[in-house]
Chains A and B, each alone.
Chain A
Amino acid sequence: MKRRKFLKLAGISAAVAGGVPSFLLREVKARSYTPPPGALTARRWGMAIDMKKCWEHPECNDCIKACHAAHNVPEIPEKKKEIKWIWKDEFEHVFPEQPNEFNNIVFEHKPFILLCNHCKHPPCVRVCPTKATFKREDGIVMMDFHRCIGCRFCMAACPFGARSFNWVDPRPYIQEFNPEFPTRMKGVVEKCLFCYERLEKGQLPACVEACKHKALIFGDLEDENSEISRILKERFSIRRKAELGTEPSIFYLIG
């Protein structure tokens, strides 16, 4: 083979290997959706969590209980294989990039509420090979449990540990069965869906409704007059791993 021919081939191979088509860029296409009459709607749903209020009631787990009961989330005894949609973890784990050597009083071991961030640029959606995980126009990162093949690519891609996998058949582990919400089968991934099924009926998410102390504020981030927008303008809030550019829609009010 001639040298020129070889170089040509080498060039083509490099282009095949290294060329990045534009549709691989980080913006994923949102799927359009028509809500039924009477539904709560928004341009981008988000949630602010008032941690100061939450910390006043350290033993309260009402939001977690309400969510897990409403969505048939099983209680798997083996911690390594557990399934959770909303849970608590301590500051050091939730914000691992924010250690402050000399500030160990304010946040040390303080619990934070965790759930899917419904990211604006969700890496989980970008990697899903079947569109079983997709983004809706109102910002909700949705899951189709019937389409998911259980490849768990989305779990590797989510930098927030928001996703759980059904390692075994979850049904025997459901405490109180709620016939209004589908149960899952083994081999699929699940996570918080921002109570899309309740929004459709004009109701707020189960966790928000369950919080007696009004620590969870749910609303439209793109509506200037919504309560959440007003609060975010007034108070200091942080988001998890903002440096990764996923643009979480969950805000922690800590000031």
Chain B
Amino acid sequence: MFEKALKGSRKYWLWLGFLGTLILIGFLAFLAQLQYGLGITGMSRDVSWGFYVAQFTFLVGVAASGVMVVLPYYLHNHKVFGPLTIFGEFLAIAAVIMCLLFIIVDIGQTPRLFNVLLHPTPNSMLFYDMIVLNGYLALNVICGWAALHGEYKGTKYPNWVKPFIYLSIPWAFSIHTVTAFLYAGLPGRHFWLTAVMAPRFLASAFCSGPALLLLALLIVKKVSKFDPGQKAIDTLSKIITYALLANIFLFACELFTAFYSNIPGHMYPIIYLFKGLHGHNEWVIFMWTAWLFMLIAAILLVIPHTRKNINTLAFACVILFIGAWIDKGIGLLTGGFTPTPFETITPYRPTIPELLISIGIWATGFLIMTVLFKIAITVKEARA
């Protein structure tokens, strides 16, 4: 079915060419990093994880969010999601591949990557993360491909796929839970040491991921004959709304615990991010942007009138996605490392090569997503 990806309009090829260029630039920057070492990035002794791990974390959420269309269809028989599950699965595939790439560029000794397999260490959360991420990739490849094939042949997906589909549902929750556990079990990192880390990860994932999916579907609707249907869009936007409200609520819980208890260790990272501390306010403007965006999006999504209007809905999804990305992509990481274990502040700023590598990986993800979506649409159009 891959041949379906090879026939497309001029715009399609221009878009792929654009992504290809970004990938090439990112790859060259990665070669430079391999040569010079991670010193090419803005990370430091005190802020020892940065943009790469942040993107990884955010994208695990996007990957997990595919389940938000799979679950209602298979567990609640919500029929209008039937034609969409395949897009959820393909989105998950693209996102997991980006996650794996971000891990590869983040580790210092790339050639030794497989030591994780050679010396499996069950007390490390990374060990489980490796298992659940690769497992999730495999599950989505199986389910996505089987569903597509079924549609191609005009039959339902074969029965043997069913267990895999059901397995993929709890599995989606597990990938983001384990990713939260990477952070939430570390002593002395107050910003991360919170029991609501995993729930908040899931909430922010289940609003930002489906928002991206919804935007992608709106584009699909524009450029092809496939129409996801008004009802499906409605349900999806309701899911986004609930998840966004849950995310805001959980963050409010964090604020209460930190500030009512008045424990310095718990307050400092939040003060640093939102107000600045010891004369450092690197991320203040970003964090306020993030939360204003999410709050505005929440208002637009809660009011039925603006949620049902395709323009305001799309706008809400865009700012929600940006907001969640800043909050989880950057705020989470810098907040965890600031202040340092010495209660000092070492500012972190990603460098140009670091950003180019990251953009290259995002472009890879979008390329995979475009091609997979294209295949799915062409198959669907042929049957329509």
How many residue pairs, one in A and one in B, have C-beta atoms under 8 Å apart? 165
Asked if residues B119 and A147 are in contact (CB atoms below 8 Å), the reply is yes
CA distance A158 to B169 in the complex (A): 34
Report the minimal beta-carbon distance from B111 to chain A, rounded to whole angstroms.
Answer: 9
In the bound assembly, the distance between CA atoms of A169 and B40 in angstroms comes to: 12
Is B286 an interface residue when CB atoms closer than 8 A count as contact? no
A254 at the binding interface (Cβ < 8 Å) = no
Write the nearest CB–CB distance from A227 to chain B, whole angstroms: 30
The reply to whether the CB of A12 lies closer than 8 angstroms to some CB of chain B is yes
Closest to B202 in A: A17
- In contact, B124 and A128 (Cβ under 8 angstroms): yes
* Contact yes or no, B46 A161, CB < 8 A: yes
Q: How far apart are the CA atoms of A202 and B13 in the complex, in Å?
A: 70
A153: chain B residues at CB < 8 Å are 124, 126, 182
Task: Give A140 Cβ to nearest chain B Cβ, in Å.
Answer: 18
Min C-beta distance of A109 to chain B, whole Å:
13
Separation of A165 and B346 alpha carbons in the complex (Å): 15
Q: Does B121 contact A (CB under 8 A)?
A: yes
B318 to A: closest C-beta gap in Å: 30
Does A1 reach chain B (CB closer than 8 Å)?
Answer: yes
- Contact check, A166 vs B37: say whether CB atoms are below 8 A apart: yes
Q: Does B187 contact A (CB under 8 A)?
A: yes
> For residue A94, which residues in chain B have a CB less than 8 angstroms away from its CB?
342
> By the criterion of a CB under 8 Å from any partner CB, how many residues of chain B are at the interface?
56
- Establish whether residues B127 and A81, one from each chain, have CB atoms under 8 Å apart when the complex forms: no
Smallest beta-carbon distance B180→chain A, Å: 10
Given A93-B342, A130-B115: A152 touches B49 (CB 8 Å cut-off): yes
Q: When the two chains form the complex, which single residue of B36, B110, B118, B170 contacts A13, counting CB atoms closer than 8 Å?
A: B170
Chain B positions within 8 Å of A24 at CB level: 122-123
Flag if A159 contacts B188 (CB, 8 Å): yes
Q: B residues within 8 A CB of A80?
A: 44-46, 346
**B309, CB-defined interface residue at 8 Å:** no
Least CB distance from A127 to B in Å reads 5
Residues of chain A within 8 A of B177, CB atoms compared:
17-18
Partner of B186, one of A127, A166, A186: A127
Specify the chain B residue showing the minimal Cβ separation from A153: B126
Known A-B contacts A1-B75, A150-B108, A246-B187; A16 and B174 likewise in contact (beta carbons under 8 Å): yes
Does B107 sit at the interface, judged by CB under 8 A?
Answer: yes
Measured between alpha carbons, how far is A24 from B127 in the docked complex, in Å?
A: 12
Is the C-beta of B323 less than 8 angstroms from some C-beta in chain A?
no
B76: A residues at CB distance < 8 A: 1, 6
* A187 on interface, CB distance cutoff 8 Å: yes
The yes or no answer to B277 lying at the interface (CB within 8 A) is no
Does residue B198 face the partner (Cβ distance < 8 Å to A)?
Answer: yes
Some 6 contacts from A to B, beta carbons below 8 A apart, are A13-B169, A96-B342, A149-B107, A159-B186, A159-B341, A167-B43
